[in-house]
């Protein structure tokens, strides 16, 4: 299916005013608006990556950081990682914050599911293979971490010494792989912003997908929270009302990993205000 046809079908399914669709189309064709406005319109690819990364960088700047990291768990063919790299460039231009991008993947597709919690009725061994040579040729600065996630995560911070991690996309599908990826949060506070923006790709769907808190990513999140007292992963509540966008499904997929013990967790990021009593 051509990209144009995909966008037409998407537009027909969205309860979006015609003027909104027109502005989106014009921005895609002519680049009329600033990056933040393009994100609001959804006129850039994977706007959820851009929204998460832009707002994370803005918080990082308020906290005094100049560099952060962004991670994609589950690279597959590489379209998402290439797009994340593009968003990193736009965010750098908009905020002055340098963003180093990393992508984690086996490089040979998904491993066999371990048990029913991996939802094998949706995913199987060998799904989502990667052409490593082709992807590496497309990447400009993103770094691939190839291997089983439980192994690459265990050595990542010590080997790569990344800038503080501010955004992570989890798209490993399996409960087992997501649980292993969440192990990255066991690294020291110096490797993270005090609040890490997280996007979980596989949380909601229809009757066929049957997502629930008893399997998949939702179970991995619940078990992580139960096992940790000073780090909690919570949904970014009210995001659909704060983005100035038409409500989208991805608004329900954005979470924040709160590192309560981080030295900068309590540092103010808002402007001091006062509310004087009205005269009448």
Q: What DSSP string describes 49-110?
A: HHHHHHHHHHHHHHTT-SEEEEEEE--TTSHHHHHHHHHHHHHHHHH--EEEEEEEE-SS-P
Q: Alpha-carbon distance 187 to 177, whole Å?
A: 18
pTM for the structure as a whole: 0.90
Distances, alpha carbon 116 to alpha carbons 38, 120, 176, in Å = 40, 6, 10
Gap between the Cα atoms of 253 and 198, Å rounded:
8
| Segments of the chain with pLDDT less than 50 | none
What is the Cβ-side half-sphere exposure of residue 155, based on CA atoms within 13 angstroms?
8
Q: What is the largest CA-CA distance in the chain?
A: 70
Query: What does the pLDDT read at residue 272?
Result: 65
252/201 Cα distance (integer angstroms): 10
Alpha-carbon gap, residue 3 to 54, rounded angstroms: 25
**pLDDT computed for residue 278 by the predictor:** 86
- Give the per-residue pLDDT at 11: 57
- Name every residue whose Cβ is closer than 8 Å to that of residue 208 and which is 6 or more positions away in sequence: none
- Cβ-based neighbour number of residue 186 at 10 Å: 11
In terms of Cα–Cα distance, which of 163, 35, 184 is closest to 99?
Answer: 163
* Res 18: pLDDT: 66
**CA distances from residue 173 to 72, 118, 147, 213, 221 in whole angstroms, order as listed:** 13, 8, 16, 14, 13
The size of the chain, in residues, is: 280
Looking only at the bridges linking them, the beta strands covering 254-259 and 231-235 are antiparallel
List pLDDT tens digits, range 236-266.
Answer: 998 877 766 677 788 899 999 999 999 999 9
Exposure on the CB side of residue 37, measured as CA atoms within 13 A: 10
The domains found in the chain, sorted by start residue, are: 15-44 (no CATH), 49-259 (3.40.50.150)
Q: What are phi and psi of 72, to 5 degrees?
A: -120, 115
Do the strands 165-170 and 67-73 form a parallel or antiparallel pair, or are they unpaired? parallel
The answer to whether residues 219 and 175 touch, using CB atoms and an 8 Å cutoff, is yes
Identify whether the C-beta of residue 240 lies closer than 8 Å to the C-beta of residue 248: yes
């Amino acid at each position: 299916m051509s990209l144009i046809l995909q966008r037409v079908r998407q537009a027909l399914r969205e309860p979006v005013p015609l003027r909104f669709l027109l502005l989106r189309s014009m921005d895609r064709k002519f680049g009329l608006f600033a990056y933040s406005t393009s994100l609001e319109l959804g006129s850039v690819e994977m706007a959820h990556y851009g929204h998460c990364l832009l707002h994370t960088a803005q918080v990082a700047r308020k906290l005094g950081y100049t560099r952060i990291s962004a991670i994609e768990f589950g690279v597959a063919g590489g379209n998402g990682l290439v797009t994340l790299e593009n968003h990193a460039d736009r965010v750098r231009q908009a905020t002055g914050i340098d963003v180093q991008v990393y992508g984690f993947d086996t490089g040979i597709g998904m491993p066999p599911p371990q048990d029913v919690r991996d939802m094998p009725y949706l995913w199987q061994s060998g799904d989502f293979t990667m052409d490593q040579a082709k992807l590496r040729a497309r990447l400009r600065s993103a770094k691939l971490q190839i291997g089983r996630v439980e192994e690459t995560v265990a050595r990542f911070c010590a080997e790569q010494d990344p800038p503080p991690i501010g955004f992570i996309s989890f798209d490993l599908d399996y409960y087992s792989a997501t649980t292993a990826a969440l192990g990255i949060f066991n690294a020291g506070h110096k490797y993270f912003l005090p609040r890490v923006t997280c996007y979980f790709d596989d949380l909601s769907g229809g009757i066929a997908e049957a997502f629930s808190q008893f399997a998949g990513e939702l179970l991995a999140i619940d078990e992580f929270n139960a096992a940790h007292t000073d780090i909690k992963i919570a949904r970014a509540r009210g995001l659909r009302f704060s983005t100035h966008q038409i409500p989208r499904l991805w608004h329900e997929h954005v979470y924040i990993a709160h590192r309560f013990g981080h030295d900068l967790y309590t540092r103010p990021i808002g402007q001091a205000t006062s509310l004087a009593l009205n005269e009448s």
